[in-house]
Every structure is written in structure tokens, then in C-alpha cells.
A and B are shown apart, each in its own frame.
Chain A
Amino acid sequence: MILGLSRSWSVSGYLIAAIITLPLIAIIAQALVPDEAVFSHLLETVLPTYIANTLLLMFWVCLGSLLIAIPAAWLVAKCNFPGRNIFQWALLLPLAMPAYVVAYVYTDLLDYAGPLQKLLRELFVWQSPQDYYFPEVRSLGGASLMLALVLFPYIYLLARTTFMEQSSSLQHASRVMGCGPWRSFWRLSLPMARPALAVGVALVAMETAADFATVSYFAVPTLTTAVYDTWLEYGSLSAAAKLSAIMLLVVFSMIGFERFARRKQQLFQKQTGVNQDERYLLKGGNAYLASGYCWLLLFFSFLLPFMILFHYAWGYFEQSWSSEFWEYSLNSLYISAIVSVIAVFIGVLLMFIRRISPRKSDLLPSRLSSTGYALPGTVLAIGILVPLTYLDFAVNDLYEYLGYRGPGLIFTGSVFVLIFAFCIRFSAIAIGSVESSYKRISPSLDMAAITMGLKPKALLCRVHLPLLRKGIFAGLLLVFIECMKELPAALLLRPVGFENLATYVYQFVSDEQLEHGALAAIVIVLVGLVPLIYLNRSLEQES
């Protein structure tokens, strides 16, 4: 681009990137501090189990999500059957469910005291747990299933889009060569969807690694819970930082995997979508099967948990409809609102610099700033508290040096720390959202604007912003719902006396009485539904 962009733009870009990568650096620095043998003790005793659990969990969740999502995605993309139009968006709904809420609901249903086992006992006249076998819900397998049930939509969404975009001429060719739907799925659609599936798997794996509440509810120790416990129970920040570093290794290798997969994806991108008449028209038994499968999936991943949640909330409405409920809802809403505005601001600024800067090096800030999302909440919390505590003490020391009473913990002791953490974690989402919107604005527009004498600021405000509206709105929504749901960071960083909906709901889950917090959980789900439906609609309009 020919536009001369003043240094101050790049400097602000680098500044933002530096702030966002600060926690990462802090963790590495803290991990190098000796920790009085806590880490070596962990390594000798429990750490191998934690690592094995984490990897196994990631493996099972990814496998489970793939198995659930691919058939659904293929059916919706390539076939016509009753209900297809509903499933197209409805299968995204589980994303709005916090996994620990689903876990709680299913534990209630499936454990020994639950209605299912009770029914079985009555039917078969079993007396005690020794009389029959029933899989333990609170186990690694159970946790994998729960997480797969809420995370599969990531893969579903990506797979569906790829299946839809797959060139119809290839499809025709395969038909001409005598491939039926099955063969063409195995030999054509699936291999071609591999890059997109890899991206989805990487996302699911990252979310799994970051999960805290589900595994701690199921008493399955993983690296995330280990970071939490090592920090809070053993009281060793450095040992926790060392664990975090291990975890980052796992997460970054996932990202590397994703990048690697996406490199190949370029090859397939420029192809046209499927037309209505090219879908297989399912009839009779097949149509029922397809429809039934999607209904079952929707039922177990969303409808059933949501109905039970509603039932809880109904029964405990009096206790739940309290002033606290309102206060915490407001806390969640205003924090999420502030964070989404800041994150989108960062996203627009960084992508603008990247777009119009003539310097190659100005690519770096937006790349660096996207790493924040890779830090699981617990790890991020450590990475933030270390530098901000230093800052707090520095400020107070300065005050006292000047002879004043210090202001106290203004950074780590206020909502600042939460907002800061959320911005770091979720800016990547806003950046991605703005980025994809920018791709649709032709560079010739910029050139025309510059020819007409527009300065960078005017170019941004008068040309780009109006055209980026959709991406900005999507970014705002996505960041907003992530902030509403984010638990571990909120749990560890919340200041004195502060609760939001997520911490409030989790408190009831860990006390085994979600009934009292069901209303709050419903609010989280409902707030999450709005952006999902909106985003899906705009996705459909594009294709």
C-alpha cells in the first residue's frame, strides 16, 4: 500500500501486542524461579497422571466430537430431509451451554440416585449397586462425553461449511464414475474436508484443555485443575507456572497443528457452493434416520439439559429471584460489554495497521495479539497476577516514598484485573472477526480513497468502519458471550466481593445444588443463544 502511515500507528500496535503477550512472558519468567521442590514432588507423584488425563481427555473429546459432528454436518450440507432447515442452526445451540452445567444435569440423571437407574432397578428388581453394572458418570469417559456434547458444534460448523463449498463438478464427476452417496462421502467429501476438520479439532482440543469446571466436578485431575490446586493448595506460584508452561506446550502444539492444516486449505477455497437440486433427496426410512439422528443429537446436547435447567429454575424460582441474581447479572453484562468494546477496538486498530502499513514488520502485532486466546483461564490468571502485583506494589511504594498513603491494590484488587484478563484472552476473537470482514473489502477502494486525499484516520472512519459493520458486530457478540461464560479466570481473578453469573453458577454446581443457580445458568445460555443465531444467519446469507 502506498499510503504513508505515521510511526505512531505502528507504535500503538506494538504496544498493544506487548501488553497482550505480557502474561505469556510472565509465566515463562515465573516458571524459571525455583519452587522449593514442589514441582519435583508433583513430578514424582501425580503429574504423570495429570498429563495422561489431559491428553486422554483431549483425545476422547476430539474423537467424540468428530463422530457426532461429521454425520450431522454431511447430512445438513448434502441432503434434503425433514427438519434440515431447523438443524442447520439448531445444532449450534449447544455452544451456548456451559459444559459444567450439562455435566451437572447428566450426573443428576444418570448416577445411582438418578431417575434412569431408579427405573432400571424397579424394572429388574435389583436391590443394590452390586446387582448390576452401570458406567460411572463421574469419570474420564463421562467428562469426555459431556465436553464432546457441548463442543461438537465447532467441528459441525466448519465441516458443514466445507461440505457446502465442495465443488459440485467434483460431485458430478464422482457420480458419473458410479460412486453412490457413501462412496463419494468416503472417497471425496471426507478427504477434502480434512483441513477444516483439523481446524475444528484444534479448537475443540484447546477448549478441552482449558476446561476447569467439568473436570473438577467429575474429580478427574487434569493439568488445568493441577495448576489451580498447585497454586492455591500448595501455595507455590512457580510450580504452578511450571505446570502452566507444560500446558502451553500442549496448546501451542495444537495451534501448530491447526496452522499446518490451514496452509493446505487454501487450495480448496475458491470453489462454488452446492445448489439446492444437487442435494441427495432422502426418502422413506433414510429420511427418518437422518432426521432422527439430528433430533437425538439436538435433544441430548441441548433440549434435555435446557429443559431440566428450566425445571430446576421453576422449582426454586423464589430463592433464585434475588437481589444477588440481579447484581451478578449486571456485573456479567457490564464487564462483557466493556471487554467486547475494547477487544473490537483492538481488533480494528491492529487489522487496520496490518492492512495499510507499507512495513512488513507491522504484521507482527496482530499475530502476537492472537496468542492470548491460547492461554487457558487458569494459566492466564497466573500470567496476569504476577506483573500486576508488581505494578501495584510499585505504585504504592511511589506514593509512600512521596509521603502519601498508598491507594492499595488498584490493579489486582479491582475489576480492572478481570477486564484486563478478558481483553487479553478474547481479543483474538475480535481480531479474527474483523480480519475476515476486511478480506471482503477490495484494496482498490483504499486506493481510490487515498487518491481522493483521505488521511489514514479518515480512511478508517469513513470508508472501512461502515464496511466492517458486520464483522465488528459479530466480533462484539462473540467476545460478549465468551466473557459471559469464562469461568476459571473469573474465579481466580475476581476482586474482593465480586461475583458474576459464571462464578455464581459454578459455586452452586460445586455445592451440588445447581437448582438454586439454575436461573442464572439460563441467563448465560439465553444470552449466548442470540449471537449464535445471528452469526449463523449471516453465514448462511454468504453461502
Chain B
Amino acid sequence: MATVPAYTPDALIAADIDAYLAQHQTKSLLRFITCGSVDDGKSTLIGRLLYDSKMIFEDQLAALENDSKRVGTQGQEIDFALLVDGLAAEREQGITIDVAYRFFATEKRKFIVADTPGHEQYTRNMVTGASTADLAVILIDARKGVLTQTRRHSYLAHLIGIRHIVLAVNKMDLVDYDQAIFDRIVTDYAAFAESIGIAGFTAIPLSGFKGDNIAAASANTPWYGGPALIEHLETVTLDSEAAVVRPFRLPVQWVNRPDLDFRGFAGLIASGTIRPGDAVRVLPSGKTSRVARIVTMDGDLEQAVAGQSVTLTLTDEIDCSRGDVIAAADAPPQVADQFRATIVWMDGEPLLPGRAYWLKTGAGTVSATVQPPRHAIDVNTLAELSVKTLSLNDIGIADVFTDRGIAFEPYADNRDLGGFILIDKITNATVAAGMIDYCLRRSQNVHWQSIDITREAHATQKNQNPRVLWFTGLSGSGKSTIANLVEKKLHALGKHSFLLDGDNVRHGLNRDLGFTDADRVENVRRVGEVAKLMADAGLIVLTAFISPFRAERDLARSMLPAGEFVEVFVDTPLSVAEARDVKGLYAKARSGTLANFTGIDSPYEPPIAPEIHVDTTRETPEAAAERIVEHVLGIWAPVL
């Protein structure tokens, strides 16, 4: 049994405890992760760090000596690995099966170590442990050099955005502290690191077992002039400090409303600095205000910085709820609903493209679907693989669509606003971790501009309630004819209206669209958006489009406040419409010169419960129009 000195506390503790405490009140905090396989001596290294920083007590040491004799793998020597291999199952198998967190402190810093396993099947654990780390210690067995798993760990650390990599070349004692071996490993690793975009790393020759270059420079490696491991960990720059100089972002976690006089927005500042009086913008609404107070139980603050949990009050009563982001008014993050993302799948049940999952980011949770992956990445070879789905521990690139816009930043700029998890809606399991690479072109750079004249104001000025009368039916059913009559009647009654006609819109706005199913969907989506804008302007909008698919009509309905969408089904049997054939289109379709014609070789899905049903075989256009106007006027609530 090696003689291990017992715990020797800092002399200052006994001499002047208050001075010691004052010194330790101002420590900073570094989180790091250790990566390596079972055989690299990772647990031993962590045990050694705990031991060398005096975190091991006499009773623990006694238990350790006891355990080392019983189940240790180091013969009569103390097996430091036993300090950290926690769960009973692991002891039996001699492996680490999950992320464990360890703590130690030096005079300069407190450290939180995420200890994660190196097995391939536990990619998810390493990604989990790395997600909060500032630094990664990649362990290499000096006898083995750079292995596949070294590349895998380095890739994952880099993927998760860790900027400080330590290459810990361990077990130097077993290669006689040979500089040539160390140098060759460093050269090999440097070539690989550069190839995957790691900007720099610090290589340290050490022995966790013997303690070389852990707490202090080792006499066994006189050729090494760099820092010992602990010294390096004490001095490396913290990511959290870098976040302070970025623009201000506060994901709102909780709206604090103890009474009608106080409305505070609470959250953890993701980046930047804030002071009372600073102009802020609330995303996604885009509304602006100023910070009134930074409220804490210890009194108001004059300034708060990234990493603090605060409660802000604003000078204006604006809408802001959980999931919104309060940001610097002059440098707000983007709002988008479509992203390119890197996804790490973490569940036994594979990704189902198109299925709706909960996506949680910042403080907000939205519904999202993942498109089929563009490709997956082989973590060993870094090759791009063509895949249809993602399974446990797969990493892939895919597009993610959310059901509403969220404020975000690319993950590379901000982990809190760029990282997300996906949650299965049925099992509630966390099935994936994702990192936003960028938003897709279509939704990029579109900020919601806050407007002072609201839709209510527009409607009030016109003395009417906005409506969208959505006429649907086969070609030649009489939609345009009836819509036209309705609009004339509304106009005569002094109502402000606009008729969007299918044929007319296809000459302009939708000139680029054809008649495939996909183009029909897009045609209706655009018309729905235009109708919504016009309704926002206070108008009564009439649309006359075949709009054959139920889903797209429902989409248009969902864009509007409840009650504003009035579906008018102009119901004319195909035989009647075809017999009328006002534009000669049915003849063309039957002769094959016009493809994808609704009713002939493209389906029409009739409404199930339209607000108004017009049977044109029983009712004249004039009578139908009169009934529609009466119906619409009849259900109009008085203007506020």
C-alpha cells in the first residue's frame, strides 16, 4: 500500500479564518468535462484532482484504502478511480455509466467536473456533460496515442462549442516520461484538431496515478515548460466572462405579479449587461420600452450582467410573458420559425420526421417538426452519411420548423438562445439536443415591427368588424359571381371591402405558381396571408378561389381571430359546373390539354361545416348574395 499523506489544510485557515474566507469569497467558477475511455485513467485523474486539492477526508481515505484492497485494480496501490465510480452497477462492471459531477476548489477557483463515459453508446452523456462546460480535458493513454475515440471526443467537444481543449497525455509514467512519445502524440493530434476546426489546444504530459504535472510541475518531465493541469485550469478564460460583452439578452422565465402595482420579468441573463434606463425590445412582439428597476431582495441594482438571475421592471405596460426575450433595443436577436440545426438524438425511439415534438429553448416551449435529415455524421470518421432518420446517439443535420416564431441566436454565438431540447409529446422523454446553426433564408432578418395603430383602431375607424368571406367551390361553380354581388351590396351599405379573385391574383402575386398540389397549397397560403393583412387593416375581405384542400382552408382560418373567418361553400355539382363551362376549361381538361384540373384529375375536398352553404341548383346568385350579406351583417357584433 502506497503511503498517502492525510488531508493537510491551508495554514491560513488556522491562523486567520476571516482572512481565509474573504479570500475564498471571490473565487470564480470553472466547469469542465473529462473525456476518455475506461482505460485512459480518467476516473483516476479525477480522483487525483480531488485528492490533490484536499477534497478527500480521512474517513473517505480509509474507506478508499479498504475498497482498493477489496475491488481495486491497482494491486496494493490506492485506486483513486474508486472515489468517483459511484453507482453499485458500475462497481460491478468496472465502468462509468452516466454523467457524474465532482467538485473541488483551489484558492483561485471552484471547479465543477462533469465526468462522462467514453463508450460510443453514451454519446448522449458526453454531450449532456459538455453542454455547460467551459473546457474539455481529452485524455490520451501515452502508450496508445490518438485513437478513434480521441477523435470522437474531440469532435463532440468542438460540436458542443467548447473553446478550451486540454490534451492530457496520461500514463507518462508507463512510457518513462519520454518526450519523443509526447511530441509525436501532440503532432498527430494537432493535425486532426486543425482538420475539424479546433483553433488551439493545450497539451500536458501527466500521470494521474503518480501525480505528475497535476498540482505542480513534475521533476520527471524537465523537458516540459508548460503549466501543470491545475494551474492551467485556474487561469483559463471563462466563457461566461466573454458573454458579458455581447448584446443584452434575458429569456423571460417567470412574470412576477404579486399585486396590480408590480410586474417584474424574471430570468437568467444569457448575455450582456443591463442598467436602469437602458432601452430594450421584447421579442418576438418587437415592442420597446426601458428598464425601470433591477429588483432584488437586497435592494435595487445599478447594473446586472450575464450569469445573474434578476427581476426587471419596465417603464411601459407592454405584453411580455414566459418564453419572450428581453433584448438590447438596438441589437435584438432574430425571430424565425425555420432553422438549420445540428441534432444529437438521445432516445431509444428514433426521430420521426414530420412528427410534432415540444421544442424547448431559452425559457420558451413551442411545437416543432423536424424534416428528414440532410445527413448524419459518423462520429468516428466524421464522414457524412445519407440517412432517413436519427437513432440513439446519432448526430445529424436537419431543418426544424416551429409553429411560431422564436427569438434565437446561432448556437456558436449564444448557447442559451441557440441550444434546444426536443421532448416527446407522449412519453415526455427528452429525445434530442439541438443546436441552431442558422435560420433558413425565408424567415431570416424579419423582425416583427410593433405598430401603434392596432387592427382594432383600423376597424373602429371604418365602423365595421373585419371579416374574411372565404368562397370555395369547383371551377365554374359561381364563386366569383356571388362574391362580386356580395361586395356590391356591402359597398352600397357603406362598408369597406376588397375582393381577391383567384384568376386576378394568379396574374400577379401568384404568377410564379402552377397547378400542382404543392403550388395549390402555396397559392392558398399566400392568399390567406394577404386576406389576413387586409383584415388587419379593418377590411371585409372576399376571396374567390377553388382552394380545394381542407387543410389549407383551415390554415387560413387559423391565421385569423376566432369568428372572423367565414367559409362560404359554393356547392355546384361537377356535372352542372362542367355543363356550364364558362371558361372552356373543363373541355380542355377532358381533352388532356390541361392537367391537374380540380374535379377531373385533381381532388376537391368539400367543407365539412361551412358557415354558409350555397346550393346553386336551388338558389340564384342574387338570392345567395342577399343571404350572405344578411348572415354576415346579422352576426356582426356592434363595433366597440
- A and B held together in a complex: no
